[in-house]
Structure 1
Amino acid sequence: MTDHMANLRHMTSHVRTLFVIVFAVAVTMLLLTRSVTQHFSGLEVRGMARERVASRIHHVNNTGIVQTNTSGNQTNIYNDVMKIRLLCVILTMPKDLHTKVATVNKTWATRCDRHFYVINSRIKRHDFLNINNIPESRNNLVHKIQEVYKRVYERYMNDFDYILKADDDTYVIVENLKYLLWHHDAQKAGYLGFHFNKFVKSGYMSGGAGYVISNRGLRQMVEEGFNKGLCKIVKREEDQENSEDIETGRCLEAAGVPVWSSLDAEGRETFHPYTLERHLAGDLPGYLYSWAKHPIQKGKECCSRYTISFHYVPPDAMIYLDHVLYQMTVFGVHGNQDFPVSVFSEGHIT
């Protein structure tokens, strides 16, 4: 009886957590449909990208219905955004193949133009980047990710515009990421993500929330950083495990790769180092408030309408989140008021 009650309590808690996640997603989808005149005005848009944004930017009126400045422009923007080539590298371990990896593969990974799971395994798969010469441990993550960047540089530089590094418990809305990246120029060096203002002069990006490096930025990191000895891993008192995200930020800075903004026009974050429900509720660890480059907000201001990522998302929550975002909609919002009447079946129930 004791075991039965314990299991029942566990199941109840689990169901309650899932309900909160689904409810939070639904509420956020409704609350974040407010008017914006330029979705990522926090960016410093460079070169040709500035002209592209100026000529194509569209807005959302107070009903949440998308409008464009020229007929058919919305379709043109979408097509341009989808042309951006995104390579995703996702850190994982063999023990998570049938849980986390399977779920990431079922949800967002296949929306990348190409993706690799970075893994220490003798198993060969077309989507595996096998790093078997580095022992599996947290302290070795930095060595593993540096090896990944070297291999990508050697083999795949002509195959992508941007590279995303994520974990196997990161959830990414790929379309929103591409939309943000469309405002930039992949042939200019830069990187972005959730910006921590600590350890590195220019700051660094949260590894768990995922960060993105431009094609030129990766080339510069390898050629100016790795090859010239500027990215050596040395023990540091303030970061004794040499965290991969901190060391990557340090290396990019040494190689002259600048930080790009990932905030939206209203100053809201697009990358998030914790789950949606924790950001909504403001239930976040204290360090985040002092480390973050930008003020942490909660409630509807926690997350951009064009949110890109969340971290620490377990497989079941990832499936629910993906389903709500991609399989459900709200009539009259996001321009779907033009749906044909035949979206519902006709006739009487007999």
Structure 2
Amino acid sequence: MLTALRMRENGGQDNQVTNEPLATQLEREVRVACFVLTTPKYHKSRAVHIQRTWGKRCNKIYFMTSQPDDELETIILTKPDQYEVLWGKTKESFTYLYEHKRHEFDWFMKADDDTYVFVENLRHMLYPYSPDEPIYFGFNYKLFNVEAKNASYMSGGSGYVLSREALRLFVHGLNDSSKCRPEDDSAEDVEAGACLFKTNVTAGDSRDDKLRNRFYPMMPYSSLMSKYNGMDFWFFKYAYYNPRACMDCLSDYPVAFHYVEPRELYSFNYLSYMFDLFGRQPTVEHLPARIPLGQVIIPPSDNR
């Protein structure tokens, strides 16, 4: 089962949800604002397909770009549409959300226009944590450009999600050049991770209770088939937690994948929300226990 809440779409009409009270509760209690970094070049070939699939399951989704589009909820950025200034676009995006939307949502999810997010699973993962906890989640890579020996940052490709308090600390930290890079160049995810680390935001552990990844910066087959990339692939060296590669190494409730083509967005959507197997027994699902504020424990790296 790919989603924490089993849903089936009924011919484009309102969703029929088999566990409707739980789904409604999560959508109300874990309010997620998603934003996608994109450009006018990809509005029609990528962004609109996100809007039609996983994007509509966020409490709200915004497309950060340089031009408006009549099919998308766009936020117009001042930074140029260049990959080299992705860090600048990310800073401007989070700043906008903090200044205009911070009271409306609990969590703020950044994604690329080739990311697929299982929003129900994201809410399920976030449920135990208070949005007042300075924490963020994603796929952890080793962070080398800070003084700490045991630090991580989150892959930009599969996205990362900040709590409301993490957003506040991050945006305030952008005004301090000793904490956050003021220039717009450099690797977006590395700079975001260093900035968040220096502003005392915890890099959370998004793995499930069986230590399987829920965020994955590639497509599923890269993890399920160890020989696809080979175990000497750079990814396995830089992952903060041992990523492993085997047929049961991915979580039952994955949150996000990267490098997802538009046609694959619809495949993921079908297999998650419309597909079912005759005779399969329904799963009884429960919400995890809440973690008291200030009592989050993050395990150290196990990938040496």
Quick one: structure 1 residues 152 and 296, their matched pair in 2 at CA, closer, same or farther if it must change by over 3 Å?
Answer: same
| Aligned partner of 1:275 among 209, 216, 219 | 219
Which residue identity is paired with 1:244? E
Which of 281, 289, 293 in structure 1 is aligned with 2:240? Answer: 293
- Aligned partner of 2:269 in structure 1 is 322
User: Taking every aligned residue pair, what percent have the same amino acid on both sides?
Assistant: 30
Supply the AA of the counterpart residue of 1:151: Y
Deviations 1:82-105 (A, max 9, x none): 221100010111111111112111
Deviations 1:306-345 (A, max 9, x none): 11111001011111111011101123446179xxxxxxxx
Residue type at the aligned position of 1:231: C
Indicate how the Cα distance of structure 1 residues 119 and 186 shifts in structure 2: closer, same or farther if over 3 A, else same. same
C-alpha distance in 1 between matches for 2:131 and 2:102: 12
Within 5 Å, give how 1:184-333 maps onto structure 2.
Answer: 184-200=129-145, 201=148, 202-223=151-172, 225-229=173-177, 230-233=179-182, 242-282=186-226, 283-284=228-229, 286-333=233-280
How far apart are 1:259 and its partner, in Å? 1.2
Q: Structure 1 residues 328, 180: CA separation in 2 closer, same or farther (over 3 Å shift)?
A: same
Contact 1:233–1:242 under 8 Å retained in 2 = no
Task: Find the counterpart in structure 1 of residue 11 from structure 2.
Answer: none
1:102 match: 48
- Aligned-partner residue type, residue 269 of structure 2: D
CA contact (8 A) 1:199 1:246 kept: no
Name stretches of at least 5 consecutive residues in structure 1 with no aligned partner. Answer: 1-28, 34-38, 40-73, 236-240, 338-350
Q: 1:123 to 1:319 in 2, by over 3 A?
A: closer
Task: Tell me how far apart the structure 2 counterparts of residues 119 and 315 of structure 1 sit (CA, whole Å).
Answer: 18
Q: In structure 2, what is the Cα distance between the partners aligned to 1:260 and 1:295?
A: 15
**What TM-score, normalized to structure 2?**
0.79
Report the Cα distance in structure 1 between the residues aligned to 2:246 and 2:90, rounded to whole angstroms: 34
Task: Name the CA shift for 1:185/1:336 in 2 (closer, same or farther; >3 Å).
Answer: closer
SS in 2 for 1:183: coil
Determine the C-alpha separation between the residues in 2 that align with 1:124 and 1:157: 25
Distance 1:333 1:85 in 2: 31
- Distance of 2:206 and 2:103 partners within structure 1: 25
**CA deviation after TM superposition for structure 1 residue 122, in Å:** 5.1
TM-score normalised by L of structure 1 = 0.69
**1:168 pairs with one of 113, 118, 142:** 113
RMSD: 2.4
Aligned equivalents of 2:117 and 2:219: distance in 1?
A: 12
Measure, in 2, the Cα distance between the counterparts of 1:325 and 1:159: 28
The residue number in structure 2 matching 1:90 is 36
Provide the rounded CA distance (Å) in 2 between the counterparts of 1:116 and 1:181.
20
Count matched residues: 261
Q: Which residue of 1 is the match for residue 128 of structure 2?
A: 183
CA contact (8 A) 1:264 1:270 kept: yes
Shift of 1:233: 3.7
What's the secondary structure of 1:115's corresponding residue?
strand
- Inter-partner Cα distance in structure 2 for 1:330 and 1:128: 38
Q: Aligned partners of 1:199 and 1:242: how far apart in 2?
A: 15
Q: 1:122 to 1:321 in 2, by over 3 A?
A: closer
Structure 1 residues 126 and 99 mapped into 2: Cα distance closer, same or farther (>3 Å)?
A: closer
Query: Residue 129 of structure 1: CA displacement?
Result: 1.0
Residue identity opposite 1:148 in structure 2:
S
1:42 maps to: none
C-alpha separation in 2, matches of 1:129 and 1:122: 8
Q: Distance in 2 between matches of 1:327 and 1:148?
A: 33
